[in-house]
Amino acid sequence: QQPVQSPQAVILREGEDAVINCSSSKALYSVHWYRQKHGEAPVFLMILLKGGEQKGHEKISASFNEKKQQSSLYLTASQLSYSGTYFCGTGGNQAGTALIFGKGTTLSVSS
């Protein structure tokens, strides 16, 4: 079952912050975040594993709350290069399972 991402779209000016949420109705053991620019392939940003840890990548960080079965991606002081569509992918516990992705959140940053 696809995780649910919110919001569907975000419009920002450079320097503003944004939060993208990802929630699942199933137990989560890992959450992956990817960014895709128009016409390109998705690119890996970070993975969060069970344990509530927070990770960072440049000015982008994320948290994972397995009790609430949700993850949030934080984009701080956004730059033009942050524009794109962000996907969360969720994984189950079994080793043989694959990531199921949400429908994506489109982020547009303007100057």
Partner 1 sequence: NAGVTQTPKFQVLKTGQSMTLQCAQDMNHNSMYWYRQDPGMGLRLIYYSASEGTTDKGEVPNGYNVSRLNKREFSLRLESAAPSQTSVYFCASSELRQLPSYFGSGTRLTVV
Which stretches of the chain bind partner 1, using CB under 8 A? 2, 30, 32, 34, 40-44, 47, 49, 87, 89, 91, 95-104
- In whole angstroms, the minimum distance from the beta carbon of 73 to partner 1 comes to 15
When the beta carbons of 91 and 109 are compared against partner 1, the nearer one is 91
Q: What is the DSSP letter of 3?
A: P
Label the pairing between strands 84-91 and 9-13: unpaired
Distance, in Å, from the CA atom of 70 to the CA atom of 111, rounded to the nearest integer, reads: 31
Closer to partner 1 by Cβ: residue 38 or 111: 38
Closest approach, Cβ 58 to partner 1, in A, equals: 16
Can you spell out the DSSP letters for 36-77? Answer: E-TTS--EEEEEEETTT--EEETTEEEEEETTTTEEEEEE-S
Question: Smallest distance, Å, CB 2 to partner 1?
Answer: 7
For partner 1, give the closer residue by CB, 7 or 15: 7
Residue 82 or 87 with smaller CB distance to partner 1? 87
